[in-house]
Amino acid sequence: MQLVPYIVAYVAIAIFIVAVIARFVMWSKMPLHVRWELYPVAHEAKKAHYGGSYLEESEWWNKPREVSLLGELKVMIPEILFLVALKEHNPKLWIRSFPFHFGLYLVIGCTVVMMGTGLLAAIAPELIAGGFGDLLRYVILGLGAVGMALAIFGALGLLQRRLTDPALRDATSGADLFNLVFFIIAFGCAFASFLIVDRDFAITAAFVANLVTFNPVALPGMDAAFYLPTISAALLSLLVLYIPLTHMSHFVGKYFAYHAIRWNDAPNLKGGDQEEAINGMLVRPLTWSASHIKGDGTKRWADAATEDFSK
């Protein structure tokens, strides 16, 4: 019984890593996507600020491209942390979605700090014996408590909106509701454990430290059948396992949505990677049955791209 939370956590982490890698590989091997070609593109080094493009240059194909990682980060970081696009286009949904996502980020940050603290305690315990150790404990407490509260508040708000908003209700599946309820139960149990049993996160921090140091030592109370920290650890581990197996893994897909579709402005040069990818797409069978395409499965995309529509 004492080792069950550790076993569940290790299995969950392993499945999470494998599932995320599998999804990344799957999406990276998908056929070339039709890209937006809307400007500005964030990685334009010198022209993004006014909506320009390297295509403005004369004989641009003979000139080296300048790509700015900093430009991408200036857009990606605010979008990831603050859901800028959602706030702009759907502020009512943002009010609920932002605290949910930001709460998750704080909980993740709390977990990372607990992992680092656990490793320091094992490698150089003298570093966390004084004021620095106290600071880390306050950081863990603040991130964990605020993060869980925000995540629960946001999940309840999203659930309420899905159940009451006609526009969302029609597009809501049972899995959508289950996902939110799962979050509410898992984080609710963890928050209850914090309020009732583990008000300084000492038990949780010790559990995480044991995980990262591969020292699955039983903690006080772990042998009890209904010990809140144990139940909380198991539920959160199952949640970690579950997320990448569902559409909630959009945190992986968002990378491709930006880099392969929204920001993909790689030139199609003779003999280049883009030409090879496009040629590969043109020989694929076309099954789109729209009247202006009339794909029957034997027709190729190259046929659709070159046929005379005036007939």
The residue extents of the domains of the chain are 4-31+83-262, 273-306
pLDDT (mean) for 201-208 = 94
* pLDDT for 2 beyond 80: no
Model pTM score: 0.89
Q: How confident is the model at residue 171 (pLDDT cuts 50, 70, 90)?
A: confident
pLDDT at position 223 is: 67
* pLDDT for 167 beyond 90: no
pLDDT at position 46 is: 87
* pLDDT for 308 beyond 80: no
pLDDT (mean) for 206-217 = 94
Residue 147: other Cβ atoms inside 10 A: 24
Nearest to 279 by CA among 271, 267, 288, 287: 271
Angle 218-220-222 from CA coordinates, rounded to 5°: 60
- What CATH topology corresponds to 4-31+83-262? Fumarate Reductase Cytochrome B subunit (1.20.950)
pLDDT at position 169 is: 82
pLDDT at position 155 is: 98
Q: For a pLDDT cut of 90, what percent of the chain falls above it?
A: 60
What integer best gives the mean pLDDT of the chain? 91
Q: How confident is the model at residue 96 (pLDDT cuts 50, 70, 90)?
A: very high
pLDDT at position 10 is: 97
- Neighbouring-strand partners of residue 131: none
The residue count for the chain: 311
* pLDDT for 243 beyond 90: yes
pLDDT at position 154 is: 98
Q: How confident is the model at residue 45 (pLDDT cuts 50, 70, 90)?
A: confident
pLDDT at position 311 is: 55
The tokens of 263 are what? 């920001």
pLDDT at position 1 is: 60
pLDDT (mean) for 293-308 = 84
pLDDT (mean) for 247-269 = 89
* pLDDT for 35 beyond 90: no
* pLDDT for 199 beyond 70: yes
pLDDT at position 310 is: 61
Q: How confident is the model at residue 93 (pLDDT cuts 50, 70, 90)?
A: very high
Bigger pLDDT: 171 vs 138? 138
Q: At 300, give phi and psi (nearest 5°).
A: -105, 160
Nearest to 209 by CA among 267, 151, 137: 137
Could you tell me if 136 and 117 are in contact, meaning their C-beta atoms sit under 8 angstroms apart? yes
Nearest to 121 by CA among 130, 113, 129: 129
* pLDDT for 225 beyond 70: no
pLDDT (mean) for 246-251 = 88
pLDDT at position 59 is: 92
108, 120, 238 from 217: Cα distances, Å: 23, 18, 20
pLDDT at position 226 is: 72
